[in-house]
Every structure is written in C-alpha cells, then in structure tokens.
Structure 1
Amino acid sequence: MILVGVDAGGTSTAAIAYSCDGKYIGEGEAGPGNFHNIGIEKTVNNIREAIQSATHNIKPDVACIGLAGLDSKHDYKILFNALKDIAENTIIEHDSFISLYAETRGRPGVIVISGTGSVVMGFDGKNRIRVGGAGWLLSDEGSAYWIGRKALRLLVKMLDGREEKSLLAELILANIKARDLDDIIRWSYHEGHKIDEIASLAKVVNEAAIKGDNKAKQIMIEAAKQLAEDAIYVSKRVGISQVYVSGGMFESEFFSSNFQSLLKEKGIETLKKKKSPEYGALLIAFDYANCVNVPE
C-alpha cells in the first residue's frame, strides 16, 4: 500500500510517499498549488506531477493533499471533484491543518502561519477553529501582502504631500523602479494584480524599520499586533498556552519579537515549527489507512 502526503502551497507543491509498513518510497516537487492564483487545471497538473515523482508513477492507495486556497465549502467542492481520482482514496485538507498535524499528530494545538497570506488554525481534539485565511481581499492580517499594501498606501500619501517622505518611500521606489505617483499607478494597476510582488515589499518595510524609519516600524508593529490578537483568540478557544509559528514573516526578527512579546503578555509561548507540512499530510494518510509504522 502506497501512502502520500502533499503540501500544495502558493509557491510550490511537495509530495512524500511511504509504504504502509513505514518504508520510504520517494519525494516529488512541482509548481504552485493555489487554484485561486493559477487556475484549477494547472493546480491539478502540478499536484499530479509531484505525486507521480514521489511514487515513481504508481497511483497511490491513499493521498492526503493539503491545499492553499481551500478557504470555503465552495473551494472544497471544486478541489475534491478535481482531485478525487488522483489516488484510490483522496483526502483534501487546508494547508494550515496539515502543518499543525505535523507538529501535534492530532492533539490540541494552534499554528500561526504568516507568509504571503496569513491564517491561524486551532484544533481542540474535535473541532477546528480557523481565523483568517480568507485571502488578500477579506483577511490575511499581519501577512506580507497586508504589510506591502499598507506600505503602498502610505507611499501614495507621501507622494501627494499628505505625509512627510521618509526612508521607506525611497526604498520602495527603488525596489519597484518607480519615480513618481504615475509610475506607482502603472505598476499597481496596468500590469496585473501583483500579489507576490506586493507581498515582497514586506522585506523593504522590514529593512526600513531596522534602519530606524518610524513609519515602517509602525506598519510592522501593527501587523504583528493584528496577527497576535488572532493567535490569542484561537489559543483561548482551544485552551492551550503555546502556539507554533511558520512562514516568511517570522524570519523577520523585528516582526517576530513584537509578535512573541504580545503573546508572552498573555502567558502564551511561541514555538518555531520544525516539521514539513507534507509530513503532516502523510500522517493523516497513515491514520486513514490504519497503518501503524509511522515514519519519524
């Protein structure tokens, strides 16, 4: 019996395959897996490619697929119908849940993910409590995209004179190769919605904050505060005093230290996530198949 765990994320898809007796079969990688960004056909093709690489082109008996973009029951219906035949038995999960499962093996816990987008996922042993994860338009507080958009809006105010220009303005303009407001508008609207490019501006904001720009500091602190409030809320619902953190924003010492301080005030410990999301999906597949020789 071949079991596969898959993490189909916003930038890449990773798969890992084992037999029911705990023997390693292989791994696979492919392109992005968020169908909101690349469409359902490319999403399915990338997931299939990663799985086939991991299993050496053998159809798995059980595949658990954690998906970015699995944000509603409507998404679930679309994705399950598209992926149900990719294995003899297909399970699809939100990517945050497989990340949490990798650390807790189904025990109560909370994970906070902040990369391009953001989400807080909690599990009390029976019920899932999810905050955020509804995409850039509706949520994603404290994410790189949220920070990038906030910085762009502030930049517009700087360019039209409502706010005093600071180092942050200089760094953003240099980063996107713009000179004035006309260039900003062209960059923002005339070349498609730049989700990844806007999110990448979080690194520019972080750089400005480290160099002492007060406006950049305010954006980073507010981002950490909003995400911390979500994490505290879910932690209280689950009834635990520690959370796992993952994602590119936590690579920022400025952001991470502010986030951790806010949780510490509430008696909540912050732990760095250690295991890969696809490993969590693999564990779910093992549980589904009642296989006991779980790989470590």
Structure 2
Amino acid sequence: MNSPTGPPLTENPIAVPEQHLIVAVDGGGSKTRALAGIVEFLDTELTGRASHEARQTCGKPVCVTILGSANSGPGNARSVGFDTAQANIRDAIQSSLQSTRTALQTPENEQRFPAISREQPISAITLSLAGVGREPDRLRIEQWGYENLSSQSVLVTTDAAPLLAYLNFERDSRLQNGDTDLDGATLAFEISSSMNAISLISGTGSFCFGVADDGRNETCGGWGGLLGDEGGGYWIAMEGLKKITRHADGRGPTTLLTQHVLNYLGLRNATELIGYIYDPNTTRDQIAKIAGIVFALSAEDPIAHQIVSDSGRWLAELIQTVATKLRFSERGISPILGLAGGNFCNQPILFEATLQAIATTNMGIAEAVRIHEPALGGFVLASQKIFDRKA
C-alpha cells in the first residue's frame, strides 16, 4: 500500500546509515508523549559497525539512546478533533527534537553519534495513537504526517501496537521501576516479528490487543465510554458516581465516596452531580480523574473496593477473550502480558486485582510487565520498518 504523499512502502528504500534519528510518539485521550533518540543496529551483518559505547551498554542486536522527551495535550483525534490532536502531536515532536539537537552538540555526543548531524533528516517517526483504529482515520493522520513532519518515513499505528513492541526491550531496571526520566539512557531491544503476547490498556478507556507467533492478531474492548471501556478510568469513575446517587436515593449503602467526591468537585450535595455530569464543558477525561478517589478509598471503603475488584475481573475478561481467540490455551502457550495506561502504572491495586482475576481462570501467563513508557515501543516499530526496507 502506498502512503498518501510519501514514498511507497515497497519502493525507494531509505538509505540506511549506521545510526538513525527516530521520534516515537504515544498519543491518548489525556496527553501526547514524544521521545526522540538515536537507534543503532549492533549486528554488523545488518549495518556495519556501531558506536563503542553502544556495544558496551547493549546486550541485544539494537539499542536506542534517548536524547529528548516532551509532553503535550491529548493526541486522540476522535476525542478532541483532528486539528487539536495534530497540533499537540507536532508540539510534542518539536519540543523533543529541540532537546535532542541541543544534546547532540555536546562533545561526547558529537563523537558518539558521528552519523547524526544537527541538520540530518529524521529517519522515521512512529505515531501510535488512540482513535486511529479505522483505516480512513489512520490514513488521514499518515498523510498529515508526510505533509507536515520532516521525516523520511511516517508510521501510524494504534496505541496498542507499541505495547507489544515494547516487550522486545531488555528488562532494564529503569523500565521496571517506572523511571520515565530516560534522557541520556541507552536501552537494548531485539527486532522480532514473532511472539505470543497480549497488551492491555487501562487509561481513560480500556482496550486489549494480542498477537500469536503464526501472525494472527485479535482485539477486544475499545468501544468507548458509552458502549463499554469497562475497567478504564471513566468507567471506574462512573461506577463510583452511580453508587453515590444510589445512596442519595436510599437505594444503596453508605459510602465514603460521597463526601470525598463532592469535596473534590466543590459540590454541596449529590443532586449537584447532575449539573456537573451533564455540563457540555465537562469532559470524559475530567470525569475519569474521579477514579483516583475510588482507588484511594478502596482499602477502607467496601463500595470502592468492590468497584476495583470488578474492574480487575472485567479487564481479565478482555485478556482471556483475546487469548481464547488466539487459541493460546489450546496450543499450550502462555503469552507475555503487557499492562499499560495510567491506572496500571499508578495504581498497583488494579494491577494486582487484574492478575488475581486471571489466576482464577485456566489461562497461563509467562510474564506480566507493567509498561510505564509505551512510547518506547515506537522505536522497535520504526527499526523493524527500516530493517524490512533494507532487506
């Protein structure tokens, strides 16, 4: 398939230097995150020599050194509109590149990355975004990328794709500990087109995506707040709000959620929730933040605890459904599980509730990984594309 304004994917291959300037973007309903870095192929059969520092610090065939990072507003075009999402994406990319260009001027980096000059074009940009599951939306963003971003290649994927790619990274302690200040860090990964893995996102919404080593892939969830998204922040918040209204009516038990949520929103009583929820200026993202109160009270409030437990079961159901579609149990396969999104990364109780729910099924998990920096997976995706075009 040809890209709208860029070169065809199977023609005019990119001239592959030893080192590549790549930008990886992760855009969701709350924010857009951009990482810029230098990717080096360490296998001499692929690209020739790599820097001495890369060979010393990386134990896998490819590594990336992060030189710039930046955040901006939401990157989900379906939530905030294409113009706003594209502006946020561009702002994050430009800010990360500005930091990278500055870092490349140091004597150490000039010596380490001789193939990358301050004016060298970007080899590839990966845009991994919520809201591009439909092909027309993906193509629209791709065309905009080729027209507005100075990159030799633009790859647009859903925000689930980099999560699976992330699992190719070496289990570095900085990643496992949730360190997102990675500027200057060198991280190793492999390019692998074959794996059995499932990724699950619990952010504002929820979505599950899996791949099998025979090339098949399956999804589950991602229906949005009106149709589903069980176990996502918006759903958790709305469950809490419904418990408050039931208590206000006398149809449900007392819950600490009532006073804490009303105080958080600056409301005098539960009736005023109607004005807040149905106000057209109230966004799903704002409502989803109430989930933080549910998590905070889950240890002392039975209602909040039940909501978190239910969330874990719903999220486990997404995982098990994808695993069933991919016939993992039938084939005796225990996949790697990658869990991402603000709820998994910031709320250990949801991570544990989900794993506990999975444990009650007959599904095996080889490893469960919390993904604190999903944008990193974009470097794997871009490297795979560069390698494929070189082959």
**Aligned partners of 2:278 and 2:120: how far apart in 1?**
44
The size of the alignment, in residue pairs, is: 291
In structure 1, runs of 5+ residues without a counterpart are none
Give the partner amino acid of 2:351: S
Secondary structure of the residue aligned to 1:273 is strand
Contact 1:25 1:54 in 2 (8 A): no
Query: Within the alignment, does 1:29 sit opposite 2:123 as a pair?
Result: no
Give the partner amino acid of 1:276: E
Cα RMSD of the aligned pairs, angstroms, is 2.5
The structure-2 alpha-carbon separation of the partners of 1:160 and 1:274, relative to structure 1 and needing over 3 Å to count, comes to: closer
- Does the 8 A contact of 1:5 with 1:278 survive in 2? yes
Among 368, 380, 383, the alignment partner of 1:283 is 380
Which amino acid letter does the alignment assign opposite residue 260 of structure 1? L
Deviates more, 1:17-26 or 1:154-163: 17-26
Tell me: CA distance 1:256–1:290, structure 2 relative to 1, closer, same or farther (3 Å). closer
Give per-residue Cα distances to partners, 1:112-134, cap 9 Å, x unaligned: 11121111110114232111123
1:224-260 residue CA offsets vs partner (Å, 9 max, x unmatched): 1111111111123332424221223224343332211
Shift of 1:25: 7.2
Task: Give, in angstroms, the shift of residue 3 of structure 1.
Answer: 2.8
Q: Give the TM-score taking structure 2 as reference length.
A: 0.68
Equivalence map 1:1-296=2 (5 Å): 1-10=20-29, 11-18=31-38, 24=65, 26-31=67-72, 32-55=74-97, 56=101, 59-85=121-147, 86=149, 87-104=151-168, 105-106=192-193, 107-125=195-213, 126-190=215-279, 192-211=281-300, 213-238=301-326, 239=328, 240-241=333-334, 242-250=336-344, 251-265=346-360, 266-269=362-365, 271-274=368-371, 276-290=373-387
Give the helix-richer structure, 1 or 2: 1
1:149 Cα deviation after fit? 0.8
Aligned structure 1 segments of 4 or more residues deviating by more than 4 angstroms? 19-25
Structure with max Cα Rg: 2
CA contact (8 A) 1:155 1:169 kept: yes
Pair 1:148–1:89, CA change in 2 (3 A)? same
* Unmatched runs of 5 consecutive residues or more in structure 2: 1-19, 42-62, 102-118, 169-191
**Which structure has more RCO (C-alpha within 8 Å, separation ≥ 6)?**
1
The percentage of counterpart residues that share the same residue type is 25
Whole-angstrom distance in 2 between the partners of 1:102 and 1:23: 12
| Structure-1-length-normalised TM-score | 0.87
3-state SS in 2 of match to 1:289: helix
| Secondary structure at the counterpart of residue 167 of structure 2 | helix
Q: Equivalents in 1 of 2:84, 2:343: separation in Å?
A: 27
How far is 1:272 from its partner? 2.2
